[in-house]
Amino acid sequence: MKPALRQQLDRYATRLAELDSLLADPAVARDAAGFRALGREHVEVSGIVERSRRHAQRERDLASARELAGDPEMAEMVAEEIEAAEGELERLEAELQRLLLPRDPDDARSAFLEIRAGTGGDESALFAGDLLRMYTRFAERQGWRVEPLSASESELGGYKEVVVRIEGEQVYGTLKYESGGHRVQRVPATEAQGRIHTSACTVAVLSEPDEAEEVTLNPAELRIDTFRASGAGGQHINKTDSAVRVTHLPTGLVAECQDDRSQHRNKAKALAVLAARLRDRERIEREAREAAARRSLIGSGDRSDRIRTYNFPQGRVTDHRINLTLYQLGAVMDGELTPLVRALVAAREAELLAEMEIGDR
C-alpha cells in the first residue's frame, strides 16, 4: 500500500474516534440536523476504518505465512494462505482507493429535475412524459418523494416542460449523470405510415442548496409575475392568480410554480428553483474555467450533450458516454435505472482512479 494511502487511513481512524465522542455528547444530539449529518459521516468513516483494519490484519497474516514458507510439512497450507491473503489484500486496497475518492459535497442533497421537449414536436412532448414517469417510478423504488412544481402540458399529452422536486437521501448523487440530451427512436402514435421518428428531450438535474448556501437573490434583480394556473386543480386554482413566475433579470433565467393553491408557497418554491438554477449555472461556469476544454468520461453536464438513446423497435437503450447498451428498454422505461446508474458511477470512479495514478507518478 502506498504511504499516502496509509496516511489517509490514519486520519480516518482519528476522525472515527472524534465522531464517536461527538455522537455521545448530549449537546450535539440536541441539534437534530447536525446530529444526522454526523451520523451519516460516521457510517461512511466506520466503513473505511473497518476495511483498513481488515487490511492490516491480512498483512500480518501474510507476513506470518511467509515466515513459515520454508517448512516442507506446511508448504501446501502456507501456499494456500499466502494466495488467499494476497487476493484479499488486493481487493481491500481497491475498495479503499474507491472509498477515498473525492466526493461531491452535493451528492447527499435532494434535487430538482427538469425535463424539456426538444426536436420532434408532439412526439418529443410525449417522450418528456415518458421520461417523467420513468424517473418517478425510479424515485418510488428508492423511497424518495416526488413533488410537482410546474408543468406545461402539450395538446396530445406529455409535456413541453415539467419541473419536479425529488426529496431523499443521495438523490443528486444518484441522478446527476442524467443531465443532458435524451433521444428516442420509435413509431409515434400520430404516425399513420408506421415510420420510425427520432425525437429528443433535455434533462437537467440540479442539487437543492442548503438554506445557508443558497444564492442570494437581489429583489431589485427579480421580476415576479402572477397568473392563473393551467390544467387540473379544481375551481379555486383556475379562479385565482396563485401561480408565480420569477425572472432573474441579469441572466434571463425563469422559474415558475403553479402546483400549490397558495401564491405565497408557490413563490417560495419558484425562488428555490431559481436559486438552484443560478447555483448550477455558476458551477458549470466555474468548472468550464477550471477544466477549459477538457471533457470527462461521464460528460460535462452540458444540456446539449446527447447522452442516451432509447430505441423502441430494437428494445434497447444506449448510453453513449460509456458505450453501454442494454436490451432492457421496457424495464428501464418502467423505472429500473439501477444498471445504468451503477455503470455511470463506476465509470466516473475509474476515471478518478486513473487521474490519481497519473498524479502519483
Question: Alpha-carbon torsion 279, 283, 289, 295, what sign?
Answer: negative
| Rounded CA separation 206/110 (Å) | 9
String of DSSP letters for 172-185: HHHHGGG-EEEEEE
Which residue ranges does the chain devote to CATH 3.30.70.1660?
A: 111-349
String of DSSP letters for 288-303: HHHHTT---TT----T
For 337-353, write each residue's pLDDT tens digit: 999 999 999 898 888 88
Displacement of CA 144 from its chain's centroid (Å): 13
Region label for 14, one of left (φ > 0), alpha (ψ between -120 and 50) or beta (otherwise): alpha
Residue type, position 83, single letter: E
Domain 111-349 belongs in CATH node 3.30.70.1660: yes
SS3 231: coil
- Residue 40's pLDDT is 83
Give the CB-side neighbour count of residue 331, counting CA atoms within 13 A.
9
- Residue 19's pLDDT is 94
| Rounded CA separation 260/276 (Å) | 19
Alpha helices by DSSP H, the chain: 3-23, 26-29, 32-67, 75-99, 121-142, 171-175, 234-239, 263-291, 329-333, 338-360
pTM of the complete model beyond 0.75:
no
- Residue 21's pLDDT is 93
- Residue 234's pLDDT is 42
In the chain the first and final C-alpha atoms are separated, in Å, by 15
Q: Which residues contact 175 (CB under 8 A, 6 or more apart)?
A: 111, 113, 135, 166, 205, 341
Q: Which residues contact 220 (CB under 8 A, 6 or more apart)?
A: none
Q: What kind of fold does domain 3-99 have according to CATH?
A: Methane Monooxygenase Hydroxylase; Chain G, domain 1 (1.20.58)
Q: Which residues of the chain have pLDDT under 70?
A: 190, 192, 210-215, 230-241, 287, 289-305, 357-361
Tell me the C-alpha to C-alpha distance, in Å, between residue 232 and each of 33, 229, 240, 258, 259: 36, 9, 14, 11, 10
Q: Say which residue the cell 428531450 belongs to.
A: 201
- Residue 236's pLDDT is 43
- Residue 4's pLDDT is 79
Region label for 234, one of left (φ > 0), alpha (ψ between -120 and 50) or beta (otherwise): left
- Residue 295's pLDDT is 43
- Residue 360's pLDDT is 57
Which residue ranges does the chain devote to CATH 1.20.58?
A: 3-99
- Residue 214's pLDDT is 54
- What 8-state DSSP symbol labels residue 326? E
- Backbone phi and psi for residue 147, each to the nearest 5 degrees, phi listed first: -120, 115
